[in-house]
Amino acid sequence: MNFADIPTTTWLSASVTLLTGLLISMAVGRAVRSAAKPLKLQKEVANVVARVVRVIVLVVTVVISLDMLGVEVGPLMGALGIGGVLVALSLQPVLGNLVGSVMLQAQRPIRTGDQIHTNGHSGTVIDINGRAVALKTFNGEIVHLPNLKVLDEPLVNQTKDEFRRTLIPFQVSYDADLRMTQKLLCSEIRSLPGLEGAPPADVLVTGFGDSGIDLVARIWHPSEELTSRWLVSEAAITIRETLSRHDVEIPFPQRVLHVKGSPGQLPTGE
């Protein structure tokens, strides 16, 4: 087509439309960044979302402006569609992790500072960015877990609530007074420093083992990992000391073998 034949008013209208689209895209970008703080989105994620929105607005504006000038936009849209598909396929992991970051921050299953377990790793969340969740393990290592993997795999937030529970199984001999043992252990465990405000611990009989009677101490403690490890250790020590102090035996594993034959003789094969 001959652009010289296009009326000046049409050129002016197309130019105004293009300029308006540019201003709108800039305004929308600023609005997205402004909304990031109330929505508690990471700055990096907000910037990427703002750029994507600006590009979409600009592409739509350019297409409208070209259509006003009489340019056939069908082939152009086809080329853009094919190019968009190719770009999307090549950037699928990147875009997927970006969307995963937005979902993690919108749903808020975890926050910076939470202690979590996922994908075989446990630690404290130190960052949630556009690519991965950065985790500092309890051994001091930094692990970067892709956002999509965090969304796809089971996720345990250990510090979502103030307290969580740990089970400590143990055994006592068959001649132990079980009710007295329960009462003593519950009293001693509940008096441990650090368990104030936590739901009370209890001790339950769970079965009859080969060597003794099976019991389990169910202890509620603060959710923070290092504190919980220390308190569980103190509870286990308290169980051992309390049983020893009251002459309640913790049996060693044992088996009784019955051998047929005369005393002092071992059976012989035929």
Do the domains at 3-90 and 109-157 have one common CATH topology? Answer: no
Which residues, including other chains, have CB under 8 Å from residue 46's CB and lie 6 or more apart? Answer: 32, 33, 35, 36
- Tokens matching residue 167: 């089970």
Which CATH number is 109-157 given?
2.30.30.60
Is 3.30.70.100 the CATH classification of the domain at 163-245?
yes
Q: What is the pLDDT of residue 191?
A: 94
Q: What is the pTM of this model?
A: 0.61
Distinct helix (H) and strand (E) counts, the chain? 7, 8
Does domain 3-90 fall under CATH 1.10.540? My reply is: no
Measuring CA to CA, how many Å separate 29 from each of 22, 53, 161? 11, 7, 37
Render pLDDT for 124-181 as a digit per residue (tens, 0 to 9): 999 888 788 999 999 999 999 988 888 888 999 999 999 999 999 999 999 999 999 9
Residue ranges of domains in the chain: 3-90, 109-157, 163-245
Percentage of the chain beyond pLDDT 70 is: 73
Q: How confident is the model at residue 199 (pLDDT cuts 50, 70, 90)?
A: very high
Mean pLDDT of the chain: 81
pLDDT level of residue 87 (50, 70, 90 thresholds): very low
- Tell which wins on pLDDT, 212 or 47: 212
Which strand (E) or helix (H) includes residue 178?
helix 178-190
Beta bridge partners of 115: 124
